[in-house]
Amino acid sequence: MATYSVALIPGDGIGPEVLREGKKVMDAVAQVTGITWKWTEYPYGAEHWLKHRKGLPTLFSEEDMAGLGKHDAVYFGAVGDPRVPESVEQAGALLWMRFYFDQYINLRPAKLLRGVASPLANKKPHDINILVVRENSEDFYIGLGARHSGRKSKQTLELKRALYQARFNVDIDLDPGDELAYQIGAMTAKGAERVLRYGFELAKKKKLTRVTAVHKANVLTKIYGLWLEAAERVAKEYPGIELEETIVDATAMWLVRRPEWFQVIVAPNMFGDILSDLAASTVGGMGFAPGGNINPNRKAGVSMFEPIHGSAPKHGGLNKANPIATILAGKLMLEHLGEDRAAELVEQATEDVLEAGKVRTYDVGGTSSCSAMGDAIAERVLQLRP
Rule CB under 6 A: which residues touch ligand IPM? Answer: 90, 94-95, 273, 308
Min dist CB 209 to ligand IPM, Å, is 28
Does 89 sit near Mg ion (CB under 5 A)?
no
Quick check: 289 and 130 in contact, CB under 8 A?
no
Cβ proximity to ligand IPM: between 90 and 348 the closer is 90
Quick check: 6 and 355 in contact, CB under 8 A?
no
The one of Mg ion, ligand IPM, none whose footprint includes residue 26, by CB under 5 to 8 A per kind, is none
Segments in the chain forming alpha helices (H): 15-33, 46-48, 62-68, 86-89, 96-100, 189-205, 221-235, 248-257, 269-282, 324-336, 340-356, 370-384
Min dist CB 99 to Mg ion, Å, is 16
Min dist CB 372 to ligand IPM, Å, is 27
How does 137-149 read in b/e, with b if 16+ C-beta sit within 10 Å?
bbbbbbebeeebe
The one of ligand IPM, Mg ion, none whose footprint includes residue 90, by CB under 5 to 8 A per kind, is ligand IPM
The one of ligand IPM, Mg ion, none whose footprint includes residue 319, by CB under 5 to 8 A per kind, is none
Cβ proximity to ligand IPM: between 118 and 137 the closer is 137
The one of ligand IPM, Mg ion, none whose footprint includes residue 371, by CB under 5 to 8 A per kind, is none
**Which residue type does 42 have?**
Y
Cβ proximity to Mg ion: between 81 and 273 the closer is 273
Interface map 241-280 toward Mg ion (x if CB under 5 A): --------------------------------x-------
Quick check: 291 and 338 in contact, CB under 8 A?
no
Cβ proximity to ligand IPM: between 135 and 351 the closer is 135
The one of Mg ion, ligand IPM, none whose footprint includes residue 21, by CB under 5 to 8 A per kind, is none
Segments in 132-247 forming alpha helices (H): 189-205, 221-235
The one of ligand IPM, Mg ion, none whose footprint includes residue 94, by CB under 5 to 8 A per kind, is ligand IPM
Interface residues for Mg ion in 273-292 (CB under 5 A)? 273
Spatial distance between the Cα atoms of 59 and 198, rounded to a whole number of angstroms = 30
Min dist CB 277 to Mg ion, Å, is 6
Does 139 sit near Mg ion (CB under 5 A)?
no
Residues touching Mg ion, count (CB under 5 A): 1
Spatial distance between the Cα atoms of 10 and 78, rounded to a whole number of angstroms = 7
- What are the DSSP E strand ranges found in 283-343? 290-294, 304-307
β 152-160/165-173 pair status = antiparallel
Residues forming contacts to Mg ion in the complex (CB under 5 A) are 273
